[in-house]
Structure 1
């Protein structure tokens, strides 16, 4: 086995060596060495996908990480079974990036590979059986029953059979018991048939056979012959109408998509007759899953402020690899991005633009598509496996040189990346929490750009404190946009005191009088409203008014969220569902009511307060389908929705002309969260959602509802005083040792038994305390949510010195300690999860 963490990667071809180190999608820290069969020596190189056997039965897709002539000393090398392609799917820079990610985020390179490759490039296995060559029914020590004999006779005729084939032969639904019996009797061998998951999109097409194109008279004769067969005649006329071959004979080569004829209601039997008689021929072609769309050649006209920012960015790029663009909401950062992307593409470089999540991707992609057309690839999790593989292959083939995507797009096979843009770089959705690698896409993107010697532009109206700190300490370059684009004005803020309204009996269905008035004004003026509440569902929980009983998840230490649609309570951690009881299981009372406010309840309240308004909701429950976001945004953009209620999905990137009122339902809930970033995130979320109001000349209004409106943070948000807010918060962080002044690592211990989890956590905590680096060690404490999916959780938090030596040493020692702990009998079933930069 060889590690991948060296600076150099061999790039030799297989003809110079007999062994290959393969990266496998398993949680093991090293590569495995396999023997290269002589027949495959000319076909294998770095980054090729290969099929290998792992263990006794598993067949896995691996990536060749290194080719050499050194046999392994600890085990006999198995041969590589096959090569899956004629070119490398992964390049050496990607493998170096995977290696860095595994090292920095304390995980295994196989886990990084598993996250990096779209599942369409991995293999699926289908169990099959064949006769055991050594089996002799005459000498078999075990008797065979009737069904087993039938199956063996069928296998004598067919070389191999799938489980489904066996079920159809015997006419039964479950075959596993019979196959297990035959395996025990050594009559059959079970093996895995390996299949590629990716399949290209194939289109069936129709065209005239060549003799009818070359000779007009033969076609005229044909029309005369089929004049009594109107259905055949109709098909030919339709074809010639769609494909005018006599004006341009070359059009016949590509023919016509078959479904144009079938969807028009034409006779399929007549079409088959024309094909059978040699008039038409059917053929297949591989087509892209993405529609072709031309881009725009119109130049982007930048304002004076945008041109100033562009000059600053370019000047900073001459000295720095990374630049922070601090542009207020609505200042026109997108136009600036477009000009920088165009320049990079004209220089022959590839460009990657990262967006935090699908909601923002949907809106931004349509904007960028107008400029770059189908030369731009889009990569996100709502796309099918096959669509993602097409983007991957499109980069390899050169079809795409610019990709817009969410965090997983940093794993795409770029080979000449020149510019990497991270829009809304402060967003928490750039962080991958589960499974490993638990990376932050912004930080990983900066490393990816460094490996390519590319430039990174971070953009935000409310930068993360880490990025702003790096800009202030001259590690990053800095440029700002402090004016809104065009004639747009900043919105007017209003603070609404919920407690005062409640005392005066002015609070109706959780809406203050001020909020209701502003919404009514917008509706009267035929303008649109956004309402932000960072909790989905109808209400956070239900409770018994008599005894205080609150339903909790059976598998997690959390209360169940009430969803009125479906009349059920759900756990947002494990998916557990339960119907709302009619009586309290604690005291038998029927007084069970919803407590708190979720997006579903706000939607209902608005429909009662404003019955004439058209209301829609955007949260995880309403946007699960592939085009759920797009449909909602299209309806809102077309003016078919007056009020849009949403979670943080609506806080970023949305740009609609008619939105003049934004309401923040419960600002206190964002602010009072047990997290050192609570203030920073409250400032960011409220500022971002406020930025959706009044973006086209009309004055916007933002209403913030709070029980403590006198708090300083609200006045800093209203005045846009990011710098003073930053200085105030950073003073606290420096005093109590929080990022960016230290590096944080959280280590979680999980087990189904409470005492085992606690004991393992304390043992690991003591081992970490012995690592000789400058650090602060906190814990172990029961997790904020102490149980998830029947696993008890204990957490230790490490605050490390920021020096790269301290970090590398601690991580290396920690990995060794975890491997030793997992080898102990008492802790083999314990899960240890390391999360670097966890918050």
Structure 2
């Protein structure tokens, strides 16, 4: 492309760019002549969009054709002479946008780390042409006098000076009086990490020269001490070789060196200060050539996977909990890296990265990168650039890692492939990382390994249909045995009045025994908070969110009622707001209450909790896992976070507090999720020589799902579930597109959903269009939600043509004046 442009410099160069906005098109900008030879596909440019927005865009096309319908604006700045986005990525952005019915700009927006996007910040400065001070109030005059001493101020800085939260009115008034100017300042988010070092000037690198220097500083004791301190880090004999690298400035300061002595020696030309760009990640030594000792069963599974890859692009690895899938993954990763290709290891949650990363680092060290949302913007940019320049050939990360700039992938591993965490819900694109991984692998001629002890129904169906390869591993690693699983009938215990704070006597006895034996226990309850809601015992008032159709969850530690949908918070009420009664009680049980109850029952035990509330801080999750792994914690209470692949040697008991809530949920996937979750949590027990027990509290011990769980019968569950799915035309026999229509006006939202459903039914038939129905949570953030579901048979429907028709009908709806306020959200392959 550069050569072509160089041969025709007299022509004006234009670029079509992807902008991070929800608009279904690329935008054409003109390139200034001095930048014409440098623009390339995949480079970032700064452009003005509309009258006041300044955005980072990605060049998708370079050409010589002016736009026919508008005058192209000039790009403001070229940020990269070496592209940061590859052609393969641009292809993937486009595919995701098309498949998941969103816009390419929305894909770019979530794919690019924030540190690679510039932002504009509103600032104010004094207007030098202002000459009407009589128009100002005394407060405004005082403020302007302060502003004169500053180059410019951000809105936040104005607020701090005026001690006001809302400064918009003040600024608006001063602009109207022409006293200040408001402008946009571009902020570049990524900043490399700089290490300041001190070194001797080259003339002092020789032994004789440096000794003479020390003698010449005899009268300047502190300066002489500084040079001697420097030489304690780099001995005289090593100066010619190591002086260039210098010594960290902080090390000299820690030794008591004064800044004034340092400055004096720099001024004399004896020392110089240098800045070195360093990585934000700690260096760690690995052993990439380490031979992984696999059992006979593991070696057979690894070999089978490689054999299946000869004929299939995707292989499903069905290995039971504790079978040692991670060791097999390491063996495969080593083989692929040795061939010169890249590897991406996807995990569903940050919770999993802590343990697995530690194990992988022992082998791959600093050649491996980790990528997830708990990293800072700068850290994520460094991983992105490291993949781009070849520093990292192997990346472990969560779903967004699929958008990193790989160009030579050999293998993508999707661990715990059944997890719904791989699906993004909000904002768009509502993509599924597992399915995007398969498309990326096809594009880059790579292989995909899907691993799980409880595969998704869809993936197992594809394997049984011979579209995927299938490899099974049905024995645990080493001497570990599958845990004994028992069902506890809490209905019976309740009748006999043997429950203690809703814990069965059997579960409490086993926890007590575990404590005596210095073994660990996990208690699982898939609901965080102290209790689902507060209830007045006199008038039956229940705390409700005023923006969503849900109850407020009671959190005792923070003494707050919190909406888990919109985040609304309010202080806990001591009296009923309706009748004034003080008889207000918590109803139901969350992880916080279970932790509190266990403290009361077992005061001598060390108890910890792992849920969204306790793992918000950057290192909180790592600390919780570390404390439990080291044996400092006796009982770990948690939500589904604790089910995701964590491996603890000392856990011999898992208690599932309430299995019924998971099973009896109004969703066609409820049975599948319940089986997966209970099996995965159960799998945390007895992973070494210690035999494991799993106790499941339920009011329905004869439930078919629980029977499959206690018999460890995934295939039986799959076959049973498949019959039900086929009878009701659910996946894997159909594809589901969920359409949510929302508006602050309930009637209008319902009318719009009805109109859309009727229009779709004309083309698709009423049997394929379900609804509209109220959403499970019918109001969120003051908007009423109605859902329309499309069930599209895989073997009968042209899915792409149907999506195009759906797009057209949505445009028809939202451009109708009556429904202009209505919002329509499309979720392809809803899970």
Q: Deviation of residue 562 (structure 1)?
A: 0.8
Flag structure 2 segments of 5+ consecutive residues without an equivalent.
none
Instruction: Tell me which residue corresponds to 1:653.
Output: 645
Q: Distance in 2 between matches of 1:416 and 1:193?
A: 38
1:41-71 residue CA offsets vs partner (Å, 9 max, x unmatched):
1111111101111111111111111122222
Q: Kindly report which structure 2 residues correspond to 1:314-329, keeping only aligned pairs within 5 A, or say none.
A: 314-329=306-321
Could you say what secondary structure the match of 2:575 adopts?
A: coil
Instruction: Tell me which residue corresponds to 1:3.
Output: none
Instruction: Tell me which residue corresponds to 2:800.
Output: 808
Instruction: Tell me which residue corresponds to 2:719.
Output: 727
1:112-149 residue CA offsets vs partner (Å, 9 max, x unmatched):
110110010011113356899xx9889x9x99769999
After the TM superposition, which of the residue ranges 757-766 and 257-266 deviates more from structure 2? Answer: 257-266
Could you say what secondary structure the match of 1:633 adopts?
A: helix
- Preserved CA contact (<8 Å) 1:207 1:256: yes
Could you say what secondary structure the match of 1:246 adopts?
A: helix
Instruction: Tell me which residue corresponds to 1:299.
Output: 291
2:663 matches 1:671: yes
Scaled by the length of structure 2, the TM-score of the pair is: 0.94
Q: Distance in 2 between matches of 1:493 and 1:261?
A: 61
Instruction: Tell me which residue corresponds to 2:23.
Output: 28
After the TM superposition, which of the residue ranges 493-502 and 163-172 deviates more from structure 2? Answer: 163-172
- Preserved CA contact (<8 Å) 1:550 1:559: yes
Q: Deviation of residue 95 (structure 1)?
A: 0.8
Q: Kindly report which structure 2 residues correspond to 1:383-782, keeping only aligned pairs within 5 A, or say none.
A: 383-772=375-764, 776-782=768-774
Q: 1:775 to 1:455 in 2, by over 3 A?
A: farther
Instruction: Tell me which residue corresponds to 1:116.
Output: 111
Could you say what secondary structure the match of 2:414 adopts?
A: strand
After the TM superposition, which of the residue ranges 445-454 and 272-281 deviates more from structure 2? Answer: 272-281
Q: 1:178 to 1:168 in 2, by over 3 A?
A: closer
Q: Deviation of residue 239 (structure 1)?
A: 2.8
Q: Deviation of residue 337 (structure 1)?
A: 0.7
| Corresponding residue to 1:40 among 35, 38, 49 | 35
Instruction: Tell me which residue corresponds to 2:100.
Output: 105
1:175-223 residue CA offsets vs partner (Å, 9 max, x unmatched):
7667646755778764422232111111111223333332445446526
Instruction: Tell me which residue corresponds to 1:90.
Output: 85
Q: Kindly report which structure 2 residues correspond to 1:98-247, keeping only aligned pairs within 5 A, or say none.
A: 98-128=93-123, 161-163=152-154, 180=172, 190-216=182-208, 218-219=210-211, 221-222=213-214, 225-226=217-218, 229=221, 232=223, 234-247=225-238
2:72 matches 1:74: no
Instruction: Tell me which residue corresponds to 2:249.
Output: 258
After the TM superposition, which of the residue ranges 424-433 and 801-810 deviates more from structure 2? Answer: 801-810
Could you say what secondary structure the match of 1:107 adopts?
A: coil
- Preserved CA contact (<8 Å) 1:545 1:593: yes
Could you say what secondary structure the match of 1:295 adopts?
A: coil
Q: Deviation of residue 659 (structure 1)?
A: 0.9
Flag structure 1 segments of 5+ consecutive residues without an equivalent.
1-9
Q: Deviation of residue 287 (structure 1)?
A: 0.5
Q: 1:168 to 1:799 in 2, by over 3 A?
A: closer
RMSD of equivalent CA atoms = 2.8
Q: Distance in 1 between matches of 2:73 and 2:470?
A: 54
Could you say what secondary structure the match of 1:781 adopts?
A: strand
- Preserved CA contact (<8 Å) 2:130 2:178: no
Q: Deviation of residue 760 (structure 1)?
A: 1.7
Q: Deviation of residue 605 (structure 1)?
A: 1.1
After the TM superposition, which of the residue ranges 120-129 and 607-616 deviates more from structure 2? Answer: 120-129
Q: Distance in 2 between matches of 1:108 and 1:512?
A: 52
- Preserved CA contact (<8 Å) 2:414 2:451: yes
| Corresponding residue to 2:276 among 267, 280, 285 | 285
Instruction: Tell me which residue corresponds to 1:312.
Output: 304
Q: Deviation of residue 497 (structure 1)?
A: 1.4
Q: Deviation of residue 585 (structure 1)?
A: 2.3
Instruction: Tell me which residue corresponds to 1:335.
Output: 327
Q: Deviation of residue 718 (structure 1)?
A: 1.2
After the TM superposition, which of the residue ranges 510-519 and 767-776 deviates more from structure 2? Answer: 767-776
Q: Distance in 2 between matches of 1:290 and 1:691?
A: 33
Q: Deviation of residue 298 (structure 1)?
A: 1.9
Q: 1:70 to 1:217 in 2, by over 3 A?
A: closer
Q: Distance in 2 between matches of 1:817 and 1:705?
A: 48
- Preserved CA contact (<8 Å) 1:773 1:806: no
Q: 1:87 to 1:217 in 2, by over 3 A?
A: closer
Q: Deviation of residue 28 (structure 1)?
A: 0.3
- Preserved CA contact (<8 Å) 2:206 2:239: no
Instruction: Tell me which residue corresponds to 2:359.
Output: 367
Q: Distance in 2 between matches of 1:166 and 1:747?
A: 44
Q: 1:71 to 1:544 in 2, by over 3 A?
A: same
After the TM superposition, which of the residue ranges 306-315 and 187-196 deviates more from structure 2? Answer: 187-196
Q: Deviation of residue 450 (structure 1)?
A: 1.0
Q: Distance in 2 between matches of 1:95 and 1:287?
A: 29
1:639-677 residue CA offsets vs partner (Å, 9 max, x unmatched):
111111111111122111111111111111111111111
Q: Distance in 1 between matches of 2:371 and 2:823?
A: 32
After the TM superposition, which of the residue ranges 765-774 and 163-172 deviates more from structure 2? Answer: 163-172
Could you say what secondary structure the match of 1:770 adopts?
A: helix
Q: Deviation of residue 597 (structure 1)?
A: 1.0
- Preserved CA contact (<8 Å) 2:60 2:90: yes
Q: Distance in 2 between matches of 1:167 and 1:646?
A: 44
1:373-406 residue CA offsets vs partner (Å, 9 max, x unmatched):
0001100000000000000000111100110000
Q: Deviation of residue 754 (structure 1)?
A: 1.5
Could you say what secondary structure the match of 1:247 adopts?
A: helix
1:387-437 residue CA offsets vs partner (Å, 9 max, x unmatched):
000000001111001100000000100011111000000001111000000
Q: Distance in 2 between matches of 1:656 and 1:156?
A: 62
| Corresponding residue to 2:782 among 750, 766, 790 | 790
- Preserved CA contact (<8 Å) 2:207 2:236: no
Q: Distance in 2 between matches of 1:156 and 1:625?
A: 41
